[in-house]
Amino acid sequence: MQPEAQPPFELLSRGLKHIGRRALDFILPPVCLRCRALVSDPQSLCAKCWTELKFLAEPLCACCGLPFPHALGEGVRCASCMARTPAFDKARAALAYDDISRDLILPLKHADRLEASGVFGRWMANAAAELIADADTVVPVPLHWRRLAKRRYNQAAVLAYAIAKKHKLRVDTASLQRPRTSISQGEMPSARARLKNVARAFTVADAQQERIRSRRILLVDDVLTTGATLNACAKALKRAGAASVSAVTLARVVRPLSPSL
Ligand SMILES: [Zn+2]
Ligand SMILES: [Zn+2]
Residues 6 or more apart whose CB falls under 8 angstroms from that of 252 comprise 56, 65, 66, 91, 93, 95, 96, 97, 223, 224, 225
Q: How far is the CA of 39 from the centre of ligand 1 (A)?
A: 8
- Span from the CA of 157 to the centroid of ligand 1 (angstroms): 26
pLDDT band at 5; cut points 50, 70, 90: very low
Cα 108 to Cα 162, 208, 239: the distances in Å are 13, 29, 31
For residue 1, what pLDDT is reported?
Answer: 41
Q: Which ligand is closest in space to the CA of residue 257?
A: 2
Ligand nearest to the CA of 76: 2
pLDDT band for position 43 (50/70/90)?
confident
- Contacts of residue 163, Cβ cutoff 8 Å, sequence gap at least 6: 121, 124, 125, 128, 132, 138, 169, 218, 220, 248
CA angle 186, 192, 198 (to 5 degrees): 60
Is the pLDDT score of 251 beyond 70?
yes
Residue range 159-179: mean pLDDT, rounded: 94
Q: Which residue has the higher pLDDT, 10 or 184?
A: 184
H-assigned helices in 90-154:
99-110, 117-127, 129-133, 145-151
- In angstroms, the CA 18 to CA 103 distance is 31
Q: How confident is residue 184, by pLDDT bands cut at 50, 70 and 90? A: low
CA distances from 214 to 106, 165, 209 (A): 35, 22, 10
pLDDT per position as a tens digit, 187-223? 666 767 767 777 778 999 999 999 999 999 999 999 9
Q: Say which ligand is closest to the CA of 86.
A: 2
Query: Ligand 1: distance of its center to the CA of 46 in Å?
Result: 4
What digits encode the pLDDT tens for the residues 112-139?
678 889 999 999 999 999 999 999 999 9
Kindly give, in sequence order, each residue whose CB lies less than 8 Å from that of residue 26, ignoring residues fewer than 6 positions away. Answer: none
Phi, psi at residue 38, to the nearest 5°?
-65, 135
49 CA distance to ligand 2 middle (Å):
28
Q: Which band of pLDDT confidence, cut at 50, 70 and 90, is reported for residue 25?
A: low
pLDDT higher than 70, residue 31: yes
Alpha-carbon Rg of the chain, whole angstroms? 20
CA 110 to ligand 1 center in whole angstroms: 20
Residues 239-257 have a mean pLDDT of 96
For ligand 2, the distance from its centroid to the CA atom of residue 208, given in whole angstroms, is: 31
- pLDDT at position 22 is 61
Give strand ranges (E) for the chain.
Answer: 90-96, 137-140, 170-171, 176-177, 203-204, 216-224, 244-252
Which ligand has an atom closest to residue 46 CA?
Answer: 1
